[in-house]
Structure 1
């Protein structure tokens, strides 16, 4: 374990089946991407009581929510969309060097608040073994908010998650990774509705 990771992100320490066996009830911070979709589908397959929570903000394109709903429908899992006004978060929208960390804390904090009200104690996310802590400031937020990353703990790489998703019939198995809109706003330039609209136009969204 490095300084950038928490105990929930220790690499290759627990098979996925073992995690589900000892965690029969969990919440998943859900994005509609390949990794969190596989985690949700495999939790349902394992017989866990699981609920997916998606935080919907101005930083995401509309298709992410559409993809998330499609996965949830296929899995038959419980799902909750948390509408969050990230543009009201001045520290995030100032776009400092640690913006990703601040945003992850905001998102996972919103999920943790909602899930705990609904009786869930364990929060999991789709971070996998291919994710590099040195390049992902969000690892710090995962550690601080006691998030567990079962795919990473199982040592599953991105390619392995995609292969397992195909075998399970998860519709996002081949979905490309898609960074949030805010990553295209130059560091230090304030993030506003207008700057996000510029990014959408530039990316053909």
Structure 2
């Protein structure tokens, strides 16, 4: 079944002939970039959007991975922070982010002669609340993984089978996803969250989030790692570091890491 889906993806790109990939450097868009390059060669282009919500090290990862794949890679600046609808952080914030992304990529693609812009949306994403998917569809973007029915687990399996060394890379959504809906997003807030997560990664942690609510940082780790983290981490130094980043309070979420946890506050009525 997995091999069949891989062949379907290859056939899909062969039909496109030329494609521009909205490439974040995450595991999904990197798999798409890999398959696109294998089929299209220099008729595929990966483009990464640069903004304050993307960590510099994630941009560097994107560059390194694109180079290893061999695909042509460019970076473009996006300006979602100029949009008050984005900064106010409503429940459909991602709609305004993806609108800015695809309003930037689509003209670039047409100018360069790429009839298709494709992204890394997978089949599992369709079952979550993802307003950004709507924005991409409205602008004609295609999602090969979703079209073929490739799940997140299958993305990792396919990446491993294609010998991509980052097949087990943790998901890393944009930093704006760390804030509760309704709290204004600023560049300063994005920077302090980025500094906090960078600090934790330097401790050897991989799967993590630092949620920001007002002046409080809430650390999320996989539940099985919490006890060891508390016992082995110099908590005094950690708190001191987080305060130097701009937080006043530092907490640990005892429920543990959950991707998309902030969406738990949404009700059917609020997203209708």
| TM-score range relative to shorter protein | 0.7 to 0.9
Counterpart of 2:21 (choices 25, 28, 43) is 28
Matches of 1:73 and 1:130, distance apart in 2: 28
Q: Is residue 15–residue 153 contact of structure 1 (8 Å, CA) maintained in 2? A: no
Q: Is residue 23–residue 48 contact of structure 2 (8 Å, CA) maintained in 1? A: yes
Alignment of 1:1-205 (within 5 A): 15-48=8-41, 49-205=43-199
Matches of 1:40 and 1:96, distance apart in 2: 31
Q: Is residue 33–residue 46 contact of structure 2 (8 Å, CA) maintained in 1? A: yes
TM-superposed deviation, 1:134: 4.0
Structure 2's unaligned 5+ residue stretches are 200-272
TM-superposed deviation, 1:33: 0.6
Structure 1's unaligned 5+ residue stretches are 1-11
**Alignment partner, residue 6 of structure 1:** none
Q: Which has the larger radius of gyration?
A: 2
Greater shift in the superposed pair: 150-159 or 130-139: 130-139
TM-score by length of 1: 0.87
Over the aligned positions, Cα root-mean-square deviation in angstroms equals 1.8
Say how many residue pairs are matched: 193
Secondary structure at the aligned position of 1:81 is classed as: strand
TM-score by length of 2: 0.67
TM-superposed deviation, 1:204: 3.7
